[in-house]
């Protein structure tokens, strides 16, 4: 049987690529009339050491499905002169420079063998909608974050048209339809305070409306208010399909297998729900003063811990948090920042590591709490496995994710909502850390109960007859309708 091709163009970061692959696998499991080609750009940053810059790793993530093909695109000019002006503008221009390569890849790798039934673009890749117009195929937006943040982005153009200004951190609370509570200005993403960043996202959001559908990595029961606000949106937007949570597979590199075994063996020896896991993503790091304060807070809490510590980039290196040019590494000597005698006093209580297998740790019965940067993939994974989060956002949309989890949904313990690594005088003291760790780990509190209940709900959502499964079927029906019309 000849399959029609769906072509995906993800933003070149790990979280976006993994979500794209997981969505593709689920789509193909549900329908045998499609195959998928994923066009992978190089990392936008020369210093990146992530799997985006390692084609063999990328290929292995998709290898388990015969009808997913990965095509690595050639290099393009990196407009580094824009980077200090605006990260968002830089990434947008970098991706736009790939339009001719995307067009050529479709012509050379897809069209000779099958027809293209749709182009699925990521939130930063809206310039590729022009390629869909040229090919006369529909485009769809694949939104890897939640419906709340999608609603915020769709809110930006109209707000700017009315007020003619960006946000300021000192502004009063704002009513954003996709959030149940008024939103404090200090939990908005940093781009919302900057003319270029704001304008860049507003322009992307305008183009979202040109697509035939918006696919969101969430499920209705989690974000019912946000999803309903999108369905009732005063300005016309395309149909919204909630297909999450999309929980990606973890890939353990050969160099990390010994570390993986050590971590999992240690967890096997711990009582159920006794360990608090601290992990801040591949780009999350702190200076040594903050690391020392975390250590003091953990020791004072008396709780067992697994702490993934990333070494901050050297002073003077240009850092763009959240877009994976941060050259975080691993410490060879933890005693450099730890309080004197910490390792000896806590040798039977916890372990420190650099890299950690996040999905497997969250799935382990010993894990009872998760101190997290609140990236959307991490939130989804914690909810899937029923592990409550302590919020410590760092960059991108993580502050407003933390706000939503604590204030709108009651699914997380608040440590900070407005912490950010790209400015501001932020420092979290040991007493705050101790209090938050105790709060998430002690007993079966209201947050833990809600998270465990939501874990059951999200698993039902992707099961037969669940809300996400049903939404997936509606999306497939729309895609097939065009395919059937073409065949006629």
Kindly state whether residue 112 falls inside one of the protein's structural domains: yes
Domain of residue 214, residue span: 4-248+464-487
Q: DSSP secondary-structure letter at 324?
A: T
Question: Where residue 333 falls among pLDDT bands split at 50, 70, 90?
Answer: confident
Q: DSSP secondary-structure letter at 216?
A: E
pLDDT digits (tens, 9 = 90+) for 265-277: 999 999 999 999 9
Beta bridge partners of 70: 38
260 shares a domain with 232: no
125 shares a domain with 109: yes
385: pLDDT strictly greater than 70: yes
Q: Are 58 and 12 in contact (CB under 8 A)?
A: no
Kindly state whether residue 448 falls inside one of the protein's structural domains: no
Sheet holding 304-308, edge to edge: 350-353, 304-308, 275-279, 367-372, 389-391, 412-414
Q: What is the pLDDT of residue 378?
A: 96
The answer to which of 74-78, 201-205, 319-323, 382-386 has the lowest mean pLDDT is 319-323
The answer to which of 7-11, 232-236, 295-299 has the lowest mean pLDDT is 232-236
260 shares a domain with 235: no
186 shares a domain with 165: yes
Kindly state whether residue 449 falls inside one of the protein's structural domains: no
The C-alpha angle 422, 206, 141, rounded to 5 degrees, equals 85
What angle separates helix 195-208 from helix 87-96, to the nearest 10 degrees?
40
Distance CA 61, CA 78 (A): 26
150: pLDDT strictly greater than 70: yes
CA-based R_g, the chain, Å: 22
321: pLDDT strictly greater than 60: no
- Using CA atoms, how far residue 213 sits from 24, 118, 209, 390, 414, in Å, is 16, 11, 8, 34, 34
412-432: average pLDDT: 90
340-364: average pLDDT: 95
298 shares a domain with 233: no
194 shares a domain with 300: no
Distance CA 119, CA 137 (A): 7
Q: Which residue has the higher pLDDT, 259 or 316?
A: 259
294: pLDDT strictly greater than 70: yes
Distance CA 223, CA 409 (A): 8
Distance CA 162, CA 207 (A): 19
Percent of the chain with pLDDT over 70: 90
Kindly state whether residue 455 falls inside one of the protein's structural domains: no
481: pLDDT strictly greater than 90: no
Neighbouring residues of 311: CB distance < 8 A, sequence distance ≥ 6: 285, 328, 329, 330, 331, 354
Describe the chain by its helix, strand, coil percentages, rounded to 5. Answer: 45, 15, 40
Q: How far is CA 265 from the centre of its chain?
A: 28
Q: What is the pLDDT of residue 78?
A: 93
422 catalytic per annotation: no
281: pLDDT strictly greater than 80: yes
Beta bridge partners of 463: none
Distance CA 159, CA 179 (A): 15
Kindly state whether residue 454 falls inside one of the protein's structural domains: no
Distance CA 118, CA 483 (A): 9
Sign, CA torsion 138/71/91/230: positive
16 catalytic per annotation: yes
Distance CA 17, CA 14 (A): 5
What three-state secondary structure class fits 47? Answer: coil
267 shares a domain with 240: no
Terminal Cα-to-Cα distance of the chain (whole angstroms): 16
List, in sequence order, the alpha helices (H) in 167-320.
195-208, 224-231, 257-268, 288-301
235 shares a domain with 373: no
Q: Please identify which of the residues 65, 67, 77, 122 carries the catalytic annotation.
A: 122
Percent of the chain with pLDDT over 90: 77
β-strand pairing of 4-9 with 116-121:
parallel
CATH number at residue 431: 3.40.50.2000
Q: Are 367 and 278 in contact (CB under 8 A)?
A: no
Kindly state whether residue 295 falls inside one of the protein's structural domains: yes
471-484: average pLDDT: 89
Q: What is the pLDDT of residue 113?
A: 84
Beta bridge partners of 72: 40
Q: Are 388 and 451 in contact (CB under 8 A)?
A: yes
108: pLDDT strictly greater than 60: yes
Q: Which residue has the higher pLDDT, 47 or 171?
A: 171
Kindly state whether residue 34 falls inside one of the protein's structural domains: yes
477 shares a domain with 330: no
Other CB atoms within 10 Å distance of the CB of residue 199: 18
Q: What is the pLDDT of residue 15?
A: 85
Length of the chain: 488
Tokens 């763009």 map to which residue?
Answer: 320
38 shares a domain with 174: yes
217 shares a domain with 161: yes
Kindly state whether residue 451 falls inside one of the protein's structural domains: no
487: pLDDT strictly greater than 70: no
pLDDT, the chain, mean: 90
Q: What is the pLDDT of residue 54?
A: 54
What three-state secondary structure class fits 308? Answer: strand
What's the domain count of the chain?
2
274 shares a domain with 408: yes
Question: Where residue 48 falls among pLDDT bands split at 50, 70, 90?
Answer: very low
305-316: average pLDDT: 81
Q: What is the pLDDT of residue 324?
A: 44
49: pLDDT strictly greater than 50: no
pLDDT digits (tens, 9 = 90+) for 64-95: 678 999 999 999 999 999 988 899 999 999 99
Neighbouring residues of 142: CB distance < 8 A, sequence distance ≥ 6: 8, 10, 19, 20, 23, 120, 121, 122, 215
List, in sequence order, the alpha helices (H) in 256-307.
257-268, 288-301
Helix (H) or strand (E) segment spanning residue 15: helix 14-30
Q: What is the pLDDT of residue 315?
A: 58
């Amino acid at each position: 049987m000849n399959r029609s091709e769906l072509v995906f163009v993800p933003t070149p970061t790990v979280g976006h690529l993994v979500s794209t692959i997981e969505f593709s696998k689920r789509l193909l499991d549900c329908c045998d009339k499609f195959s998928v080609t994923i066009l992978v750009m190089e990392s936008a940053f020369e210093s990146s050491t992530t799997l985006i810059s390692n084609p063999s790793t990328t290929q292995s993530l998709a290898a388990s499905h015969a009808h997913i093909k990965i095509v690595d695109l050639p290099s393009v000019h990196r407009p580094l002169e824009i980077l200090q002006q605006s990260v968002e503008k830089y990434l947008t221009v970098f991706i736009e420079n790939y339009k001719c390569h995307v067009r050529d890849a479709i012509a050379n790798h897809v069209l000779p063998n099958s027809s293209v039934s749709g182009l699925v673009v990521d939130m930063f890749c809206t310039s590729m909608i022009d390629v869909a117009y040229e090919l006369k195929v529909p485009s769809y937006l694949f939104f890897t974050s939640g419906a709340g943040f999608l609603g915020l982005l769709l809110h930006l153009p109209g707000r700017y048209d009315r007020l003619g200004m960006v946000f300021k951190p000192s502004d009063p609370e704002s009513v954003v339809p996709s959030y149940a509570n008024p939103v404090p200005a200090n939990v908005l993403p940093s781009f919302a305070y900057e003319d270029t960043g704001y304008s860049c996202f507003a322009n992307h959001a305008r183009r979202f409306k040109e697509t035939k559908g918006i696919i969101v990595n969430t499920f209705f029961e989690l974000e019912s208010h946000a999803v309903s606000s999108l369905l009732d949106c005063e300005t016309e937007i395309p149909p919204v399909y909630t297909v999450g949570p999309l929980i990606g597979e973890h890939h353990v590199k050969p160099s990390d297998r010994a570390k993986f075994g050590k971590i999992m063996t240690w967890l096997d020896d711990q009582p159920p729900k006794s360990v608090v896991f601290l992990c801040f993503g591949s780009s999350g790091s702190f200076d040594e003063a903050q690391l020392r304060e975390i250590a003091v807070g953990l020791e004072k809490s008396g709780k067992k811990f697994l702490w993934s510590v990333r070494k901050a980039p050297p002073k003077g290196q240009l850092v763009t948090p959240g877009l994976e040019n941060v050259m975080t590494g691993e410490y060879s000597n933890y005693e450099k920042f730890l309080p004197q005698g910490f390792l000896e006093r806590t040798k039977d209580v916890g372990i420190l590591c650099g890299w950690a297998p996040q999905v497997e740790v969250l799935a382990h019965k010993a894990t009872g709490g998760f101190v997290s940067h609140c990236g959307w993939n991490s939130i989804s994974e914690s909810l899937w496995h029923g592990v409550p989060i302590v919020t410590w956002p760092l960059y991108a949309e993580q502050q407003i994710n933390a706000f939503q989890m604590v204030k709108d949904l009651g699914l997380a313990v608040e440590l900070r909502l407005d912490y950010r690594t790209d400015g501001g005088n932020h420092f979290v003291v040991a007493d705050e850390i101790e209090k938050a760790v105790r709060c998430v780990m002690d007993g079966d509190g209201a947050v833990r109960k809600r998270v465990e209940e939501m874990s059951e709900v999200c698993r039902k959502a992707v099961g037969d007859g669940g809300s996400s499964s049903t939404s997936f079927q509606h999306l497939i029906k729309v895609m097939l309708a065009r395919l059937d019309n073409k065949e006629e």
